Amino acid sequence: MLSQRDQQVIWHPFTQMQTASLPIAIVKGEGTYLFDENGKKYIDAISSWWVNLHGHAHPYIVEKISEQLKKLEHVIFAGFTHEPAIALAEGLLKQLPGNQSKIFYSDNGSTAVEVAIKMAFQYWYNKEKPRTKIIAFKDAYHGDTFGAMSVGGRNAFSAPFSPFLFDVIHIDIPVKGKEKETIAQLKTAINTNEVAAFIFEPLVLGSAGMIMYEPEILNELLKLCKQKNVLCIADEVMTGFGRTGKFFATDYIEEKPDIFCLSKGITGGFMAMGVTACTQEIYNAFLSDDKMKTFFHGHSYTANPLACAAGVASLELLATPPLIPPQRGGKCYEPWENIKMIGLLHKNFELEIKNHPLVKDVRQRGTILAIELETSENTSYFNSLRDKLYTYYIEQGILLRPLGNIVYVLPPYCISKSDLNCIYKVIEQSLLKS
């Protein structure tokens, strides 16, 4: 059994190894489904931690990675370049707003955020007007490395490290009814003229429990930041690539961020990749005869050609009009049609479930649906309801991973109506049990 061999040698992420049940060994993925070593099939209702867009083992991405694999698996990215890196940068810049002009590669969401923070601080340093503060939302999640943890909300996960995290000005999430408070807090913070940047998850704060707020208020916050030359960093690691119904969540607003952090869906969920995109203005601040103005940052696997090839293939699948012919995996799958369909079905289910006595709140944006359950316990991630629900869903053959008392659905775009209905039905049944 793979599960037992695993237990001898592996330490899993976000897992209390003493009490965790044996991990489920997956031997095959296909479209929306995962298959374990006993042949049991699961619907992947959370896109394998929010990374998968077009389904597992999508034939077109498989083909593109294997073509690249036969040509060049990896090469140092300082002093060297390659076609997939250039093609992906070109493709991303086509989708990003017009103010974006350069792509900096790394290898995951946390590093994309680290790079963004370092770019922002060094931008001001290079201009010899150092600014030392960052604004972020309370309860934000930007990754698990130290810089990313520092700008994230302070909670039980970061507690052991709190003495080592740098100071950040945390403002309230501008959820409905709280917008004025957030505006006031932002204004106070930026009036000091010490703020280098404002980092935010646009419209949906994922790990916080799929907390949502409206585009209008985000636009307002960015407008205020721009008046004070505070750099705006959109962490679109989770929200990018169609997740919220538009290509980027910030496509819902008029003001444009200065820096974008991308990862997760960027390769369709096939390879590890992080991207930090920035404006020409930021890039220019690092151009100098003075070597000390260089951006000294890089990772061994920066711009890995296989990851870039996967990224290009995934962008091609997202292209409108569709580029990929049916016989190469484009069949019956038009991601933007599906994204719309998922949004509509989510909305219908929201209406159906929102008056259920155990349901405290239902939120939806694009392909993301979150159902917050009533609970007598504290509403943290460590809520015992969470474990009961998780186990029940797995038994029913559905991979759903509630965040505390918040059950959310965030499926690959290739999911069928009947699989979505199956997920909704199991969620409804779980309410009877909890």
Ligand X SMILES: *Cc1c(COP(=O)(O)O)cnc(C)c1O
Name the DSSP class of 400.
-
The two structure tokens encoding residue 51? 């990374």
Least Å from the CB of residue 35 to ligand X = 24
Helical H runs in 142-246? 146-151, 179-190, 215-227
Minimal CA–CA distance to 290: which of 122, 103, 115? 122
- With respect to ligand X, which residue has the nearer C-beta, 107 or 372? 107
Interface residue with ligand X among 186, 238, 271, 307 (CB under 6 A) is 238
Q: Are 388 and 372 in contact (CB under 8 A)?
A: no
Q: Which residue is nearest to ligand X (CB)?
A: 109
| Range in contact with ligand X (rule: CB under 6 A) among 32-40, 106-114, 342-350, 401-409 | 106-114
In 361-373, which positions are buried (b, 16+ CB within 10 angstroms) versus exposed (e)?
Answer: ebbbbbbbbbbbb
Considering the rule CB under 6 A, would residue 232 count as an interface residue with ligand X? no
What is the CA angle 103-106-109, rounded to 5?
100
Minimal CA–CA distance to 210: which of 381, 354, 376? 381
Considering the rule CB under 6 A, would residue 106 count as an interface residue with ligand X? no
- With respect to ligand X, which residue has the nearer C-beta, 58 or 142? 142
In 74-92, which positions are buried (b, 16+ CB within 10 angstroms) versus exposed (e)?
Answer: eeebeeeebebbebbbebb
- With respect to ligand X, which residue has the nearer C-beta, 49 or 283? 49
Interface residue with ligand X among 31, 109, 209, 240 (CB under 6 A) is 109
- With respect to ligand X, which residue has the nearer C-beta, 217 or 237? 237
Considering the rule CB under 6 A, would residue 114 count as an interface residue with ligand X? no
C-alpha to C-alpha distances, 69 to 210, 307, 329, nearest whole angstrom = 37, 10, 20
- With respect to ligand X, which residue has the nearer C-beta, 149 or 282? 149
Sheet holding 133-137, edge to edge: 100-106, 274-279, 259-262, 231-235, 195-200, 133-137, 169-171
Considering the rule CB under 6 A, would residue 153 count as an interface residue with ligand X? no
Least Å from the CB of residue 112 to ligand X = 7
Least Å from the CB of residue 110 to ligand X = 3
Amino acid at 110: S
To which residue do tokens 């659905």 refer? 409
Interface residue with ligand X among 110, 314, 364, 430 (CB under 6 A) is 110
Considering the rule CB under 6 A, would residue 410 count as an interface residue with ligand X? no
Least Å from the CB of residue 204 to ligand X = 9
The two structure tokens encoding residue 249? 């969540």
Considering the rule CB under 6 A, would residue 34 count as an interface residue with ligand X? no
Binding mask 251-270 for ligand X (x = CB under 6 A): ------------x-------
Binding mask 130-149 for ligand X (x = CB under 6 A): -----------xxx------
Least Å from the CB of residue 113 to ligand X = 6
| Range in contact with ligand X (rule: CB under 6 A) among 19-27, 230-238, 279-287, 407-415 | 230-238
In 232-271, which positions are buried (b, 16+ CB within 10 angstroms) versus exposed (e)?
Answer: bbbbbbbbbbbbbbbbbbbbbbebbbbbbbbbbbbbbbbb
- Spatial separation of the C-alpha atoms in residues 388 and 167, rounded to whole Å: 37
**How many Cα atoms within 13 Å fall on the side-chain side of residue 22?**
13
Binding mask 158-197 for ligand X (x = CB under 6 A): ----------------------------------------
Interface residue with ligand X among 36, 44, 201, 316 (CB under 6 A) is 201
Catalog residues that contact ligand X under the rule CB under 6 A: 108-110, 113, 141-143, 201, 206, 235, 237-238, 263
